[in-house]
Amino acid sequence: MRIIAVAMTKGGVGKTTTAVNLSHGLARRGHRVLLVDADTQGQCAKALGVAAEPTLTDVLLGEATILEVVNRARENLDLVASDHHLTKASLVIARREYDGHLALAEALAPVADRYDFAIMDAAPGVDAVAVNVLGCADDVLAPVALNPAALAGVFEFVRHVERVARHNRRLALRWILPTFHDLRVRQTGEMLEQLRTHFGGRMCTPIRVNIDLAEAFGWKRSIFEHAPQSRGAEDYGQLVNEVQAGSCVAQREPEGSAEREFALEP
C-alpha cells in the first residue's frame, strides 16, 4: 500500500478537495483506495456523504481497530472518517514517551495488503496527528494556494517535511500542487512561476478556479460525479495521471478565458 499524505501547514489551500477527488479518481481507474481523514474538521465524510462514526479517533485511542471504522464510500473507495474528537487523540499520542510518532502507522498496518493507495487528508499545523501522517507516509502531495499568504508558508513546510524524514526515511515531498489558479489575475501567474523556479519537476498541473468543485462538495459528490466535463474534473483527472506515473508533467498552456471565482473547501 502506497501512502500519500495530502498535507500543508497552511489551511484553506484545498487539501480536502484534493484528497477526495484524487482518491475517487484513482478508485475509478480500478485501484483499491483507502481515504483517511486525519483532520478534526471531518470534511471527507461530508464531501462524500458517508456516516462519520466510528472514527479515526476511536482507533488512535485503542477503542476500535482500523477494520472496524472503515466505511465503503464508492466502488473501490473506502473511508476512515474523523471529527473534532481527534484533538483528544492528538493529546494522548503526544504523551506517549517513546513511540507516539508511530501510532498511525501501527493503526494502518492491518490493512496494508488490502489497498493499493492510502490517501491521508492531513490537518494544517504540526500537532501530533499531523506529524503521524507524515511519519507513516511514503509521499507528500502539497497543495499550495496561489496567494501570497500561502506561498509564504511553503518553505517552512518543506523544512518540516525534512525534519520528519529524518525518522521516516521513505518520506519524500514528491508533488507540489498549485490551487486557485485564476487565469485572469497576473499575480497568480507570477506566483506560479516562482513555484516552478523552486520546485521544477515536482510541480503538478495547477487546479484552476472552477465553481463546480465547490458545488460538488455541497452535493456530497466528487467532481467526477458532479461535473465530469468540467475544468475541475479535467484538472483532477490530470493529477490522477501524475500520481499514477509517479511524477509530474508539462504545465498547461495559458488560456484566454476563465470561470467564476470560488473558495475551495478546507
Question: Which helix or strand (DSSP H or E) is residue 57 part of?
Answer: helix 56-60
What would the mean pLDDT of 220-244 be, rounded to a whole number? Answer: 97
| Domain assignment present for 125 | yes
| Domain assignment present for 61 | yes
Residue pair 198/158 in contact (Cβ under 8 Å)? The answer is no
In this model, does residue 128 exceed pLDDT 60? yes
Whole-number Å distance between alpha carbons of 181 and 76: 30
| Domain assignment present for 255 | no
Domain that holds residue 36: 2-245
| Domain assignment present for 107 | yes
Whole-number Å distance between alpha carbons of 194 and 151: 9
Reported as a pLDDT band with limits 50, 70 and 90, residue 266 is very low
| Domain assignment present for 250 | no
CATH at residue 106: 3.40.50.300
Number of domains in the chain: 1
Classified as helix, coil or strand, 224 is helix
pTM of the predicted model as reported, rounded to 2 decimal places: 0.91
Mean pLDDT of the chain: 90
Nearest alpha carbon to residue 226 among 82, 49, 52: 49
| Domain assignment present for 36 | yes
What DSSP assignment string belongs to 120-173?
Answer: EEEPSS--HHHHHHHHH-SEEEEEEESSHHHHHTHHHHHHHHHHHHTT-TT-EE
Whole-number Å distance between alpha carbons of 1 and 32: 9
| Domain assignment present for 261 | no
In this model, does residue 138 exceed pLDDT 90? yes
Measured between its terminal Cα atoms, the distance across the chain in Å is 26
Q: Tell me: the pLDDT tens digits for 38-85?
A: 999 999 999 999 988 899 999 999 999 999 999 999 999 999 999 999
| Domain assignment present for 155 | yes
For the chain, give the percent of residues with pLDDT over 70. Answer: 92
Q: Tell me: the pLDDT tens digits for 194-217?
A: 999 999 999 999 999 999 999 999
In this model, does residue 118 exceed pLDDT 90? yes
Whole-number Å distance between alpha carbons of 203 and 192: 10
Radius of gyration of the chain (CA): 17
Reported as a pLDDT band with limits 50, 70 and 90, residue 257 is very low
Q: Tell me: the pLDDT tens digits for 19-29?
A: 999 999 999 99
Q: What is the pLDDT of residue 149?
A: 84
Q: What is the pLDDT of residue 219?
A: 97
Q: What is the pLDDT of residue 97?
A: 61
What would the mean pLDDT of 186-190 be, rounded to a whole number? Answer: 86
